[in-house]
Every structure is written in C-alpha cells, then in structure tokens.
Chains A and B, each alone.
Chain A
C-alpha cells in the first residue's frame, strides 16, 4: 500500500529485519523492533547501534521480516480458545490440604 499516492514503482531496495535482544545472560532473546538493512551483517551492526546504546543487551538476533511465519489473527479462535477451558493444566486448579508442604 502506498499512502497519498507515493510512487509505487520504485525499485525494491533494503529489506526489513526483526531484531531480538538478549538483555542479560539467563534471559531469552526478546523482540525489540525492526530496522532496514541490505544484508544480515549490516542489520546486525545497525541493531547494535540502534537497540543497545544504553547497555540493553549482551546478544542480538536479526531475522528478515519476510522469513517469519506468524499465526493469523483469523485463526486465533481455533488456535488459542481451546486452551481456555482446561484449568486443570494449572496448579492452582487443585486443592491442597492446609499445612502440607512440597505439593
């Protein structure tokens, strides 16, 4: 889509990448945003400058946005609702007699 009539026929240039940062050892990489780059090495360099200027990370992943496969909002009912009526998967579902430990 091009808003307000921007030229749609401009040659495709840099790609969009998704950036994931491990904030410190022991944590998972977390999605922090996206950026543009022509190749993976450039994406890593830019991610370092853009997303870890304030010591936010110890490790970075970059992934071309086009290579991410995402669940569709249209399927969210069939994907996620069936989990809603299975409270027995959670420990709080069960009663524990008062005074007992290690349960």
Chain B
C-alpha cells in the first residue's frame, strides 16, 4: 500500500474522515475483544464493568464511524463501514485486535490503551473540527473511568500474589511492543495537527508515558523494554488474529445484503 504523502492539498474533510475512521476502528475492535469476556469474567462485578466499558466503546465507535462516513461522498453509514469493509480497509492500531488472552493481558491492554485515550480525547476537545471536539468531549469522561478501572486491577494483579504478578507482567509484555504505533506520525495526523484539528502524538506520548510508569511502579511491575516491531494498522496491515474477529463480527450482516435489523 502506498503512503499518500503528496496529498497536502487534500480537503480537511477527507483528513478528518480518515482520522475518525482510525480512531473509530480502534474502539470498535477493542469493544469486540472486550465483549468476549461476557459471562466469563473472574467475578460478576467484572462482567458488569467490562461490558460497561465495551458499551462505552461501541457508542464511541458509532459516533466516529458516522462522522467518517458522513464526510465521504457518497456517504456511508456506521454499519456500512463496520460490516462491509475487508480486513485491509480497517484502520485500527494493531494493539486493539490482539487476542485478549487471560485477564492479565486484557487488563494490561486496556490500561495502556485507555491511558492513551485520556490525553488524546482531552486534546481533541479543543479540535477546530466541532464534530470531533463534541465526540471527544463525551469520550474523555468515559476514558477516565476506563483507565481508573484498568489501573485498579493492574495494581491488584501486580501487587497481589506471585501468580497474578507473573501473569500481569506477561500480559504487559505481550502488548507492550504494539504501543509504539499509537504515537507513530502519519501525514493525515500531521496535517490535522497543523490545522489545529487534532492533538500532536508527540505531545501525547510523554503524558502517556508518565502516567503509565507511575501506575506500573505502584503495581510493582517492570516497564518492559522497548521492542521495535512492524506496524501498519493505520494503513490496513493487520495481525493474523484480526481476520477471524472480522469474520465473526460481519458474517450475519453480510449474509443478508440490503436487509434492515
């Protein structure tokens, strides 16, 4: 896939659509992974909590995909985008699609992602694009709760029993190589940053890192070494875990083309 670096003159609307699509795919795919915990959580209280987070994320996904589809010509609906794109057309970061693994990995991923969402949505509230700003204004409150829940558990797993500590550290190391992609510069984001429509990933990263390192210290967990690995979720390159997730999510909708639900 070719990077469209020569599109500096592209209208901001298309950039906003691309940007919203990536963020929308992030939360849609993460919600899909979280909902796999339904009736499978360690305690009933966590069934309620994990589904609460999944529900918030589905709501964010609907807002972001509707915004993205609405900026296209001809427009597409949230369901067109969720159910009728193939794997290479999805723009989520790869960390979202990784198998949830055990509760340790699920919590580690949720914490790292929510700790990124908080400064991201917070910065996006000041976007010059009023639709993005409105979505971010709602999402930031939700993300603050998500990061609180994930922190709560990460600290208990890290500073709990030897087994929970081992599992939390392992989960953290499973997902850690994928966080770099969240801060990777790309031309669309750069243009939006210049236009004041999106927060600068280079500004978000240190905020994220500080928050993460503080919680890992509280959890008595070690910050994993930085590992460079191939990325590409924002360009439609995904891991092998992603195809089955999409097949499951899309099959019913696609089995009845044109039907309403």
Contact = CB atoms under 8 A, between A and B. Distances in A.
Q: Do chains A and B touch in the complex (CB under 8 A)?
A: yes
A46 B152 contact: no
B196 interface: no
Interface residues of B, number: 10
Interface in A32-70: 35-37, 41-42, 45-46, 48-50, 53
A46 B52 contact: no
Contacts of A45: 49, 148-149, 152
B241 interface: no
Contacts of A35: 45
Contacts of B48: 46, 49-50
Nearest to B55: A53
Interface of A, secondary structure class, is helix
Interface in B24-49: 43, 45, 48-49
A50 B45 contact: yes
A36 B42 CA distance: 13
Contact of B45 (A37, A41, A53): A37
Nearest to A14: B43
Interface of B: 43, 45, 48-49, 52, 145, 148-149, 152, 156
Minimum-distance CB pairs A-B, first 3 = A46-B45, A49-B48, A49-B49
